[in-house]
Structure 1
Amino acid sequence: MKLVNPLTAIFHPPPTPGVLAVFGHLDATVDAIGQLRKGGHTDFTVYSPIPRHEIEDALDQPVSPVRMFTLIGGIAGCAIGAWITLYMSYDWPLVLGGKPVGSIPPYVVIMFEMTVLFGALSTILGIAFNALFAARRLGTVAYDPRFTNDKFGIFVRA
């Protein structure tokens, strides 16, 4: 009896049936994307050896949700940095020269660093989260090694 690993379905989804088209020129690829959109197809994957603005304009994709992870992480990091510094100064006050215990200017550096740290970590988590669920939702799409050299490709799900 073979034991099934429950994570196999998540990390190695089954291949997706569909049609793979290979193009030698950018213009043909952009025209094919336009024809697919006119035909009502919205669920297809485009491969390119280099980033091209023409393809991005033809695809007209929505903005990535990863930026919201970064924003939330940055705000949380700034708030945690402010809380940590203020809590430390009131828990263990160092009164020097009559300066206030909770002075904001020295804490801006800690707040900035925590903003960058939490923003970066939440961005990595957002990328991993979206990639995991996109792979699970989309399945495994066909790929041709020619797409890394000089060819363009479109994979249309059946």
Structure 2
Amino acid sequence: MICAWRYTGASAMSESSVFGILVRMPSAEALVEATRAAKRAGFRELDAFAPFPVPGLVEALGYRERMIAPLALVLGLIAAAGAFFMQWYASFDYPYVVGGKPLNSWPAFLPITFEVGVLTSVLTAVFGMLIRNGLPRPYHPVFNDRAFDRASSDGFFLLCPGASLVDVETCLEEHDVREIKELAP
């Protein structure tokens, strides 16, 4: 569906002072279709904003599974093995017989081994997620746009960082676009 859109960007912005192009879409379906069209046109590093999870948007953005879960598992196992080894080594380096138990009483080592492994896995997953998502992000150029406040209620936005206005207009001319703006950094 072809819809007339309104250009609201500043025409005096130079190419070097533009962070990217922010496109406002009227619906979730239009956002997914525009994202697919932008990907087909060769735009990379696209970002989409919607007030709720949109089916098909993740695939349209080209999301790839990250290595956070396998990394958390591997580091958790390494930490658990390290905790077990530390307890085993300490029992032989500083032998202290309690209740006639042998020095290598591995059942006594399991609670600490388990806790250290779980703690390391959880911390790896949390910090890996924060790093991969670029968080915390106290500032982003889209926060300067007054219409972007609607992204948490009923706004659907597509951000094309580093793109030129002409390229985005050409790519999305056949899509139902509500508004296109240039964003300053």
User: TM-score, normalising length from structure 1?
Assistant: 0.72
Match of 2:58 in 1: 56
Aligned match of 2:34 in 27, 32, 35? 32
Matches within 5 A, 1:47-126: 47-96=49-98, 98-126=100-128
1 or 2 for the larger relative contact order (CA 8 Å, sep ≥6)? Answer: 2
Aligned match of 2:159 in 141, 155, 158? 155
d(CA) in 2 for partners of 1:53 and 1:92?
59
| Structure 1 unpaired stretches of 5+ | 1-14
Deviation at 1:145, TM superposition (A): 1.2
Matches within 5 A, 1:6-17: 17=19
Is the partner of 1:67 in helix, strand or coil? helix
Match of 2:10 in 1: none
Deviation at 1:92, TM superposition (A): 3.1
Which amino acid is 1:148 matched to? Answer: S
Match of 1:142 in 2: 142
Identity of aligned residues (%): 25
Is the partner of 1:105 in helix, strand or coil? helix
**Greater share of helix:** 1
Which amino acid is 2:40 matched to? Answer: K
Which amino acid is 2:152 matched to? Answer: T
Larger-Rg structure: 2
Which amino acid is 2:36 matched to? Answer: G
Deviation at 1:75, TM superposition (A): 2.4
Larger CA deviation: 49-58 vs 92-101: 92-101
Is the partner of 1:142 in helix, strand or coil? helix
Which amino acid is 1:142 matched to? Answer: V
User: TM-score, normalising length from structure 2?
Assistant: 0.63
| Structure 2 unpaired stretches of 5+ | 1-16, 164-185
Which amino acid is 1:17 matched to? Answer: F
d(CA) in 1 for partners of 2:32 and 2:134?
28
Equivalent residues of 2:51, 2:156 under 8 A apart: yes
Please give the root-mean-square deviation of Cα atoms over the aligned residues, in Å: 2.9
